[in-house]
Structure 1
Amino acid sequence: MEDKSMTITEHLEELRKVLLVSLAALAVATVITYFGFRSQLLALLTRPVRDLGVTLVYITPGEAFFTSIKISFLAAIFLALPVILWEVWSFILPALHPHERRWVYIVMPFSLLLFFSGIIFGYLVVFPVALRFFLVTASEGFQPLITISKYLGFLTTFVLPFGLVFQLPLVIMLLTRLGLVSPQFLARNRKLAVLVIMVIAGVITPTPDVVSQLLLGLPMVLLYESSVWLSYLVRRRQEKVESEEV
């Protein structure tokens, strides 16, 4: 644990190195995505709206250019994520005990897997349904005129929350492992949990309509129900290990 003897100045210098390397990786990844994959990214992200026969427009001279920059930057975050995580991990690793490191090794991959699964689920399954409702079902008789920047903003704010809410099973498992919740507690407070989920869904959805709230809230309810079963399995395994130790 040599790091514990480091001075504040040395800690700040290490933190500065982490920030500089992370920013450099992000900058390089942005350049790579902009010049190498810009067209493919734009085609991928606009496919749901193009499938509905809607053509995106731009209303200011620099809107299309800066939107391309934003798309490249968002993709660069995912591309540079391994370098950023490695730098952050290298910074905090010396301060962790062996058992804490083991938990990070277990939790981090599952957290990333759930996050990307949520993003993919939101984009492929839920977002097309929401888009069809807003542009076809609820807008019959009107001609949509959507700018590329507004579309990207709506897509981002709609899909990203799915990456966060997909962390729910992992959070419940950790809370159960720490003894802070039990499967009985989760099952007993199911109605309250559904109410809280719907309130959260109403807050984080980009539009204040019931449809968006339900499209985000229903997957959260299903994740909560799966979390109850995961909590039961974790508690059962804990009891089995404790009985074997006795």
Structure 2
Amino acid sequence: MDDRPDEEPDSPAGTDDGEEEPEESVERVDPFAGMGGDDEEPSGDGESDADAGTDADAGDDGSASSEESDESEESDYELAPEVSPDLDGDAGGPAAQEPVQPPSGDADYRPEDATDGEQFQPEPVEDVEAVEEPEPVTPAPEDEFAPSGPSTDEELPLAEHIEEMVYRLAIVVAVAGGVSLLVFPFGEPIINFIWNGVLPASTDARPHLYAPLELVITQFKVASLAGIIVALPVFVYETYVFMRPGLYPHERRYYLAAIPTSLILAFVGVTFAYFIVLPAVMSYFLYYSESVALSALALGSTFDLILLLMGYLALVFQIPLFIMLAVMMNLTTRQWMEDRRLLFWGVFLGVAFLFSPDPTGVAPIIVAATMVGLFEGTLLLLRWTGR
């Protein structure tokens, strides 16, 4: 029996059935099998050339088999599944390790994020189409002076508003004109009463006429002043009636309270001018000019000065009413005005010198001091009432 190793054919041998053997079934051969020719003992001295050729073929076949085995090992290494050890330390094969299946709808899941023994907990998916309902707004408690909305306010065309406004003004003009016509015949007694009350009693300053119609014009001025005084409450009332549909209830109360207050303050201002301001101004005029010339006061110009100062003081005495309304309607605060009192004093002084009919400075100083006194008195009243 021949002890030489089995000779392998140059090409894969066929099976009995005539089918070729697949590449995966190639047996692994020692890569050094064909290189040890000296270690093998020849079976006999009469080795034929065919045997030598057979050994050479076997060596070549062994080399080819080693290359195929290397490629097979690399292929097995690349195709082998990745094995991760279990928590208990046992290595599991590909069949023993079951892949974690991601939940349906989770597109961001990655298998490497999951570990053995850890149960996958999917994050809740928010419904993007859901709309949050707004929280109900709790209405604030009703305040006594909170605006509830005028219930009688109606949208009217501009032409109707203008027509109603003209109608209200016509009523005021009619009242003023009627009173003026009634007072005109009594103009002379009224002129004498005002003239003698303003000028000093020790001075024989009778009025002088320098124009034919000067007395008639002065009587008309006095009658017009009486008509304006009587028509002033009517004007305030008609204004309230015109604005009433658009006023809130608290604004109506403020307005109705301001009407009599304004009339009282106007009367106080006229009285203050008649008894204090006008006598002081007239005494200064007569004293200033008596050493130079004889005073001959004209009826028309002197009465113009008297009427202007009376009307001026009637408006000045409205300052407390304006301040009170501004504070009550939360337009400003007492503390804000107290912090800027010097600014208000400067404004009062400028207004007094700018609009006073007296160029000597006596009347502006008295009027400015009166305005400052009214301002500070109103602030003290607000402090006392706690506003």
TM-score range, shorter chain: 0.7 to 0.9
Residue deviations 1:166-205 (CA, integer Å, cap 9, x gap): 1112222222234444333333333333232222211121
State the superposition RMSD in angstroms. 2.0
Aligned structure 1 segments of 4 or more residues deviating by more than 4 angstroms? none
Give the distance between the partners of 1:192 and 1:82, measured in 2 at CA.
33
1:9 shift after superposition: 2.8
Give the distance between the partners of 1:188 and 1:99, measured in 2 at CA.
29
1:90 shift after superposition: 2.1
Aligned to 2:112: none
The answer to which structure has the higher helix fraction is 1
Aligned to 1:211: 362
Aligned to 2:163: 13
Give the distance between the partners of 2:262 and 2:327, measured in 1 at CA.
16
**Structure 1 residues 184, 19: CA separation in 2 closer, same or farther (over 3 Å shift)?**
closer
Give the distance between the partners of 2:277 and 2:316, measured in 1 at CA.
14
Give the distance between the partners of 2:233 and 2:319, measured in 1 at CA.
23
Give TM-score, length-normalised by structure 2: 0.56
Pick from 336, 351, 355: which aligns with 1:200? 351
8 A Cα contact 1:130 1:215, kept in partner:
no
1:154 shift after superposition: 0.8
Residue deviations 1:54-77 (CA, integer Å, cap 9, x gap): 111111111111111111011111
Give the distance between the partners of 1:11 and 1:163, measured in 2 at CA.
31
Equivalent positions of 1:108-187 (< 5 A) are 108-135=259-286, 137-141=287-291, 142-187=293-338
Give the distance between the partners of 1:151 and 1:225, measured in 2 at CA.
33
Bigger Rg, structure 1 or 2: 2
Aligned to 1:23: 173
Aligned to 1:33: 183
Give the distance between the partners of 1:94 and 1:196, measured in 2 at CA.
36
Identity fraction in percent? 28
Deviates more, 1:113-122 or 1:43-52: 43-52
Which amino acid in 2 is paired with 1:34? F
Which amino acid in 2 is paired with 1:44? F
**Structure 1 residues 215, 96: CA separation in 2 closer, same or farther (over 3 Å shift)?**
same
Which amino acid in 2 is paired with 1:42? I
Matched, 1:75 2:226: yes
Which amino acid in 2 is paired with 1:8? L
8 A Cα contact 1:182 1:231, kept in partner:
no
1:33 shift after superposition: 0.7
Give the distance between the partners of 2:316 and 2:230, measured in 1 at CA.
22
Find the residue that maps to 1:138 and give its secondary structure. helix
Give the distance between the partners of 2:345 and 2:232, measured in 1 at CA.
33
Residue deviations 1:87-122 (CA, integer Å, cap 9, x gap): 332222222222211110112211221122111111
Aligned to 2:258: 107
Give the distance between the partners of 1:45 and 1:138, measured in 2 at CA.
22
Give TM-score, length-normalised by structure 1: 0.86
Which amino acid in 2 is paired with 1:41? I
Give the distance between the partners of 1:151 and 1:60, measured in 2 at CA.
14
Find the residue that maps to 1:126 and give its secondary structure. helix
Q: Provide the aligned length of Structure 1 versus Structure 2.
A: 234
Matched, 1:42 2:191: yes
**Structure 1 residues 146, 9: CA separation in 2 closer, same or farther (over 3 Å shift)?**
same
Which amino acid in 2 is paired with 1:28? G
8 A Cα contact 1:26 1:77, kept in partner:
yes
Matched, 1:227 2:383: no
Any stretches of 5+ residues in structure 2 without a counterpart? 1-150
Pick from 320, 325, 340: which aligns with 1:189? 340
Aligned to 1:244: none
Which amino acid in 1 is paired with 2:166? R
Find the residue that maps to 1:207 and give its secondary structure. coil
